[in-house]
Amino acid sequence: MAYKKLKMGMIGGGPGSFIGAIHRIAANMDGEIELVAGVFSSDPEKSRSAGESLFLDPNRVYGSYDEMFEKENQLSEEERMDFVSIVTPNHVHFDPSMKALEHGYHLVLDKPMTLTLEEARILYDKIKSSGKHFCLTHTYTGYPMIKQARQMVADGILGNIRKVYVEYPQGWLTEMLESEDNKQASWRTDPKKSGKSGCMGDIGTHAFNLAEYITGLKLSKLCADINTKVEGRLLDDDGNVLLKFDNGASGTLIATQIATGAENNLNIRIYGDKAGLEWKQEDNNTLIIRHHNQPDQIYRAGSPYLSHNAQANTRTPAGHPEGYLEAFANLYRNFARTIQAQRQGKQPDEAWLDIPGATDGLRGMAFVHHVIESGKSDQKWTEFTV
């Protein structure tokens, strides 16, 4: 019997959305997932029009996610969607996620997990009890050289980790963009839609997640300087954080959206007592390994000497640059292949299982909580708990 593509329903991602289109490209790229249903806007007319432009069956373009869950559940198992992808602003993460799981769907959810830490705890438990597959789209862990970096740390190439410097500078909010009818800027700087943090929730969480992912360490305490640099803005747009990890490593986390002229310059440097590594998202196919008194090495995506996990997350040989969309697609492909393998009674490749999940989501919300609290505190160190 022939297997079918995995069927996806989408919540959010209509006109003006940035991340919705990204999710669709990521899902489409490898030809293993098919978008079959969706509610793309809280405005039914906009949702319908978006669905048409996506070549969807009009009967499966819905006016609300409640309607979507109800109608899709009436379809045959063969026909109805296999999983749901939620790409709405943060305040519309919790409710549809809970309902998707309750209706029996696997779930892909954009980060951060929820609006509040409390919601995250509830959703975490729900995911764990549901038995459904869950992916939180911390895109950057989908890059092959990040897989390679994590493997090299795990293999002890760097020795005992002493220092972690992670940065996420952007410049797009250097002006008061939210007063100019910019949809992306508006919700991200609105506490009702974004939560208790702007910059730290939007991009700081990516940096935090990346640092823990590569090193395998857990943050144990932090000391934050949180700022709103653009006058009139309602949430933080900048922050510097001192970090301490559970093995004693120290570091810094920088996230800012007012570094004028910066694009999307997530980068990380990790130093152990044997070697160091450096990676920049804007040059994502390169991983530099630094050695003491020996020539540094340039590891390149698509090369035959990379780890299985790194190779499993590339599509092209070295020198054919893959990028952000492919990293994103890796999350979708790994998620889909795991479900397909399960369907077929096969063991999924371990590379497919390596996607960000509920724990990442919960820790990310704890990071948002603590970093903002630390920013308000006169005390140097704040314990990181979940």
Residues from 204 through 263 that contact a copy of itself (CB under 8 A): 223, 225, 227, 229, 238, 240, 242, 244, 250-252, 254, 256, 258-263
Q: Choose among 275, 239, 237: nearest CA to 254.
A: 239
Residue (82 or 119) nearer to a copy of itself, CB: 82
- State in angstroms the smallest separation of the CB of 304 from a copy of itself: 5
- State in angstroms the smallest separation of the CB of 142 from a copy of itself: 13
- State in angstroms the smallest separation of the CB of 317 from a copy of itself: 7
Contact 118, 196 (CB under 8 A): no
User: What strand order describes the sheet that includes 106-109?
Assistant: 33-39, 6-11, 83-86, 106-109, 134-136
Based on the shown chain and the rule CB under 8 A, indicate whether residue 193 belongs to the binding site for a copy of itself: no
Residues 6+ away with beta carbon under 8 Å from 354: 147, 309, 334
CA atoms within 13 A on the CB side of 225: 7
**Taking contact as CB under 8 A, which single stretch among the options 98-106, 117-125, 190-198, 302-310 is the one that binds a copy of itself?**
302-310
Number of residues forming the site for a copy of itself (CB under 8 A): 97
Residue (1 or 131) nearer to a copy of itself, CB: 1
Residue (65 or 328) nearer to a copy of itself, CB: 328
Among 297, 342, 344, 347, binds a copy of itself (CB under 8 A): 297
Would you give the binding string for a copy of itself spanning residues 165-184, x where CB under 8 A is met? Answer: x---xxxx-xx---------
Q: Choose among 197, 203, 199, 218: nearest CA to 370.
A: 197
- State in angstroms the smallest separation of the CB of 61 from a copy of itself: 10
Amino acid at 230: V
Contact 140, 146 (CB under 8 A): yes
As given in the structure block, the two tokens for residue 248 are: 């004693």
Please list every residue from 345 through 384 that binds a copy of itself, using CB under 8 A.
Answer: 377-381
Based on the shown chain and the rule CB under 8 A, indicate whether residue 273 belongs to the binding site for a copy of itself: yes
Contact 184, 300 (CB under 8 A): no
Q: Is the peptide bond before 58 cis (omega within 30 degrees of 0)?
A: no
**Taking contact as CB under 8 A, which single stretch among the options 86-94, 123-131, 200-208, 300-308 is the one that binds a copy of itself?**
300-308
Among 72, 110, 322, 354, binds a copy of itself (CB under 8 A): 322
Spatial separation of the C-alpha atoms in residues 194 and 191, rounded to whole Å: 5
Spatial separation of the C-alpha atoms in residues 331 and 133, rounded to whole Å: 12
Among 59, 73, 179, 316, binds a copy of itself (CB under 8 A): 316
Report residue 286: phi and psi, to 5°: -120, 135
Strand partners, 9: 37, 84
Based on the shown chain and the rule CB under 8 A, indicate whether residue 7 belongs to the binding site for a copy of itself: no
Please list every residue from 80 through 109 that binds a copy of itself, using CB under 8 A.
Answer: none
Please list every residue from 45 through 64 that binds a copy of itself, using CB under 8 A.
Answer: 52, 54-55, 58
- State in angstroms the smallest separation of the CB of 337 from a copy of itself: 12
Among 69, 324, 332, 384, binds a copy of itself (CB under 8 A): 324
Among 49, 151, 182, 303, binds a copy of itself (CB under 8 A): 303
Residue (283 or 349) nearer to a copy of itself, CB: 283
CB atoms within 10 A of CB 94: 21
Contact 173, 200 (CB under 8 A): no
User: What strand order describes the sheet that includes 382-383?
Assistant: 286-291, 275-280, 267-272, 161-169, 250-256, 238-245, 219-227, 382-383
Please list every residue from 128 through 167 that binds a copy of itself, using CB under 8 A.
Answer: 158-159, 162-163, 165
